[in-house]
Every structure is written in structure tokens, then in C-alpha cells.
């Protein structure tokens, strides 16, 4: 199991637009990736490819989330997904 922390960069938090970009990217990866707030237990982690899960997470700007995945390619996948979270998609 690989774990990777990421800080939410979008100034309005993980709302519809950044969540859509992230969910689409997570869905395009073959392995299952989960996401949880750093303050939540690992068993509460949610499906990272679900935009509704991401929105219900309610992660605000500057909050730390944990991405988790298993299997070959997991580490690289998490790195690319973390990069999306750490980009400010609300910046004009």
C-alpha cells in the first residue's frame, strides 16, 4: 500500500471544477485510488474517481488529504494525482 499526502491548492477548495478534473484523472487510472482527509481514519477513505465523494469530503484550501493505492504503478499514479490537487485550478 502506497500513501501520498497532498495539500489542496485551489482557492475555493475541492469543489466542482477541481473535483471534476481530479475525478476524471483518477478514473482514467487502472488501479483503485482512495482519498481521505489527513484527519480521518484510513477505513473512511473514499473512491477518488467519484466526484460526489470528493465533493462530500469538503476539503478546503490548504487542507491535507491522503491518497492511497496498491499494486504496480501505484507510486507514479499517486504522484501525478497529487500534482493535480496541488495545482490551483481556480487561478485565472
Partner 1 sequence: MENFQGVGVSPGRIIGSVRQMPHPISEPPRDEKLAGATTAEDAVAALRAASKLVHAELKSRAETASGAAKDVLEATALMAADPMLIKGAVKIINTGTSAERAIWEAGASVAEMLHNLGGYMAERATDVLDVRARIVASLRGVAAPGIPASDTPFVLIADDLAPADTATLDPAKVLALVTSGGGPQSHTAIIARSLGLPAVVAAHGVTSLPDGASVFVDGASGLVATNPDAAQVDAVAAWAKTASALSQFDGNCRTADGHLVPLLANVGGAAEAVTAAAAGAQGVGLLRTEFCFLDRETEPSIDEQVAEYRGVFDAFPGRKVVVRTLDAGADKPLPFLTDSSEPNPALGIRGYRTDLTSPGVLERQLEAIALAAAVSDADVWVMAPMIATPDEAEHFAGLCAAAGLTTPGVMVEVPSAALTAETILAPVKFASLGTNDLTQYTMAADRQLGPLAALNNPWQPAVLRLVHLTVAGSTAEAATRGDDAAKPVGVCGEAAADPALAVVLVGLGVSTLSMTSRSLSAVATVLATITLVEAQSLASLALSAPNAIEARNRVRARLPILDQLGL
CA separation for the pair 47, 54 (Å, rounded): 8
Question: 85, 35 in Cβ contact below 8 A?
Answer: no
Q: Which one of 5, 11, 56, 80 is in contact with partner 1 (CB under 8 A)?
A: 56
Q: Which of 5, 38, 58, 88 binds partner 1 (CB under 8 A)?
A: 58
> Does residue number 7 form part of the binding site for partner 1 (CB under 8 A)?
no
Separation CA 19–CA 24 (nearest Å): 8
| Short-list 9, 22, 19, CA closest to 58 | 19
Site for partner 1 in 26-55 (CB under 8 A): 46-47, 49-53, 55
Residues near partner 1 (CB under 8 A), total: 18
In the complex, minimum distance from the CB of residue 31 to partner 1, in angstroms, rounded to a whole number: 14
Residue 81 CB neighbour total at 10 angstroms: 21
Q: How far is the CB of 51 from partner 1 (least distance, A)?
A: 4
CA distance 3 to 48: 13
Residues that bind partner 1 (CB under 8 A): 12, 15-17, 19-20, 23-24, 46-47, 49-53, 55-56, 58
Amino acid at each position: 500500500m502506497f500513501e501520498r499526502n497532498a495539500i489542496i491548492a485551489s482557492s475555493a477548495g475541492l469543489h466542482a471544477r477541481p473535483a471534476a478534473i481530479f475525478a476524471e484523472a483518477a478514473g482514467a487510472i487502472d488501479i483503485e485510488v482512495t482519498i481521505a482527509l489527513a484527519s480521518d481514519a484510513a477505513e473512511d477513505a473514499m473512491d477518488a474517481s467519484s466526484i460526489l465523494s470528493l465533493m462530500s469530503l469538503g476539503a478546503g484550501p490548504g487542507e491535507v488529504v491522503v491518497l492511497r493505492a496498491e499494486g504496480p504503478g501505484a507510486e507514479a499514479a499517486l504522484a501525478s494525482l497529487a500534482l493535480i490537487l496541488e495545482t490551483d485550478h481556480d487561478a485565472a
